[in-house]
């Protein structure tokens, strides 16, 4: 076992940290309050190579490993989880999906722009009646020979209005159930494609979440990803890697809140001493630190599995399950350590507590992660 990062990984981690402090921290409270999308920041992250980190440079990416991506997600999420989810969806769902399963033409036409950050993408699986039960797709893509006709509604789509390219999962052969599902590339502005109003959210309020409505949208056949009927497998394979990104986001939120709470506990005085000298506070910090370190090893192990070509279904699910739980518990305790100051926006930890919750819900709820883990451990 080697727990040492390479020089390159250390440099990337430092670059992400510097960027988060210099570019994401300023204005973060206002963006959260106003639900403002961080357009300028996303553009700069594209220039730094953060939007297509694992994509081959041949297609405009940075050609880095999954661990470098995870380190970046962790550092960005310590400061701004709204920005990091934009990075995560673009990298691990959209770019990964296209690079792994797209045709050469699709990579030339879409991946290059997505990986360089020129445009951003969205991944559209969830529907009003198909969340955890993703096989119950009601959106249809009817085969009309040289094109599909797309009808239906997608819910909760991250980058819903800011994306230019959407990977949409839809049912083509209803009688075949999940084996009749396809993944289609849909462009913003295609006739019949409407974007619903922005959701007013508890957390990650800087990211834009919308429903999408498709009314007889004509999609050329060449925009189907993979063979006919590959759509459900495409979604599951892509989400398995996506979970590692969200696990890293959860880890970053937890670590960010912990660092703030630790520093505060060494400054704030009560009963004639710094509150860190009260054992009740010191023990909270000890628990937080231990849990974060445990979450970190699960997240890095999942990234390592992916880089080694090992199966990462179970390690990704365990990393997301545990890191999201740690994010929730750590941020609640961070608010407690800040006392009254924890309850107001200026000290950041209340936002982190709100942001943490989503990591237990999207890209598979914690209950769904337990289904993935238990199925995997019981099959042998
Ligand atoms: C801010 C935000 C951004 C999102 N971004 C995207 C996106 O970009 N693309 C996208 O496709 N989706 C996105 N989602 C959707 C997200 O993935 C779903 O909300 C999530 O998968 C849960 O689905 P659901 O909301 O329908 O809940 P449901 O499936 O209705 O679940 C409700 C509850 O029941 C539990 N449950 C369901 N089935 C079982 C079971 N078999 N056993 C035990 N418990 C069960 C769940 O764990 C949950 O606690 C986003 C959601 C949010 C809130």
Instruction: Tell me how far the alpha carbon of residue 362 lies from the centroid of ligand 1, in angstroms.
Output: 6
With the most atoms of ligand 1 within 8 angstroms of its CB, the residue from 83, 93, 97, 132 to mutate is: 132
What's the average model confidence in pLDDT over 88-93?
98
Kindly state if the Cβ of 69 falls inside 6 Å of ligand 1.
Answer: no
Residue nearest to atom 44 of ligand 1 (CA): 367
What DSSP line would sit under 227-249, residue for residue? STT-HHHHHHHHHHHHHHHHHHH
Residue 52 pLDDT exceeds 90: yes
With the most atoms of ligand 1 within 8 angstroms of its CB, the residue from 198, 249, 361, 366 to mutate is: 361
Strand partners, 181: 171
Q: CA-CA distance, 325 to 333, in Å (whole number)? A: 12
Note the pTM of the prediction, 2 decimals.
0.98
Backbone dihedral angles phi then psi of residue 82, each to the nearest 5 degrees: -65, -40
Tell me how far apart the terminal alpha carbons of the chain are, to the nearest angstrom: 25
Kindly state if the Cβ of 156 falls inside 6 Å of ligand 1.
Answer: yes
pLDDT of residue 1: 84
Question: Residue 273's CB: how many other CB atoms inside 10 A?
Answer: 9
Relative to the CA of 366, which ligand 1 atom is closest? 47
**CA angle centred on 59, ends 56 and 63, rounded to 5°:** 20
Distances (CA, A) of 328 to 164, 263, 325: 32, 19, 5
Strand partners, 230: none
Q: What is the pLDDT of residues 165-195, one digit of tens each?
A: 999 999 999 999 999 999 999 999 999 999 9
User: Is beta strand 273-274 parallel, antiparallel or unpaired with respect to 269-270?
Assistant: antiparallel
Q: What is the pLDDT of residues 240-294, one digit of tens each?
A: 999 999 999 999 999 999 999 999 999 999 999 999 999 999 999 999 999 999 9
Mean pLDDT score across all residues of the chain? 97
Kindly state if the Cβ of 362 falls inside 6 Å of ligand 1.
Answer: yes
DSSP 166: E
Kindly state if the Cβ of 209 falls inside 6 Å of ligand 1.
Answer: yes
Residue 2 pLDDT exceeds 90: no
pLDDT of residue 320: 98
Q: CA-CA distance, 288 to 255, in Å (whole number)? A: 9
Number of alpha carbons in the 13 Å side-chain half-sphere of residue 286: 8
**Dihedral class, residue 226 (left if φ above 0, else alpha if ψ from -120 to 50, else beta):** left
Kindly state if the Cβ of 358 falls inside 6 Å of ligand 1.
Answer: yes
- Return the structure tokens found at 215: 């009314």
Residue nearest to atom 14 of ligand 1 (CA): 156
């Amino acid at each position: 076992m080697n727990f040492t990062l390479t020089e390159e990984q250390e440099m990337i981690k430092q670059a992400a940290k510097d960027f988060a402090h210099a570019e994401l921290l300023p204005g973060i409270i206002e963006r959260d309050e106003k639900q403002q999308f961080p357009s300028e920041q996303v553009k700069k992250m594209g220039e730094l190579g953060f939007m297509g980190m694992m994509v081959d440079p041949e297609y405009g990416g940075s050609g880095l490993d999954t661990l470098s991506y995870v380190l970046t997600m962790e550092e960005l999420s310590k400061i701004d989880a709204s920005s990091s989810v934009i990075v995560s969806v673009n990298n691990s769902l959209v770019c990964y999906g296209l690079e792994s399963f797209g045709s050469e033409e699709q990579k030339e036409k879409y991946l290059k722009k997505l990986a360089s950050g020129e445009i951003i993408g969205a991944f559209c699986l969830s529907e009003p009646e198909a969340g955890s039960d993703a096989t119950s797709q009601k959106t249809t893509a009817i085969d009309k020979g040289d094109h599909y006709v797309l009808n239906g509604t997608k819910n909760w789509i991250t980058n819903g209005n800011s994306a230019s390219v959407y990977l949409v999962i839809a049912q083509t052969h209803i009688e075949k159930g999940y084996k009749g599902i396809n993944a289609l590339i849909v462009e913003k502005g295609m006739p019949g494609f409407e974007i619903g109003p922005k959701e007013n959210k508890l957390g990650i309020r800087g990211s834009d979440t919308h429903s999408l409505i498709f009314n007889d949208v004509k999609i050329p056949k060449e925009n189907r990803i993979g063979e006919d009927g590959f759509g459900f497998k495409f979604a599951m394979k892509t989400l398995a890697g996506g979970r590692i990104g969200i696990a890293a986001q959860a880890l970053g939120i937890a670590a960010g809140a912990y660092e703030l709470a630790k520093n505060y506990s060494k400054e704030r005085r009560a009963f004639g001493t710094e509150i860190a000298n009260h054992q009740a506070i010191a023990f909270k910090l000890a628990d937080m630190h231990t849990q974060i370190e445990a979450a970190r090893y699960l997240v890095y192990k999942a990234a390592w599995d992916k880089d080694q070509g090992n199966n990462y279904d179970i390690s990704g699910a365990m990393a997301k399950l545990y890191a999201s739980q740690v994010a929730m518990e750590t941020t609640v305790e961070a608010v407690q350590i800040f006392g009254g100051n924890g309850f107001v926006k200026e000290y950041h930890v209340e936002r982190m507590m709100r942001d943490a919750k989503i990591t237990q819900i999207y890209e598979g709820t914690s209950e769904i992660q337990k289904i993935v883990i238990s199925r995997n451990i019981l099959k042998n």
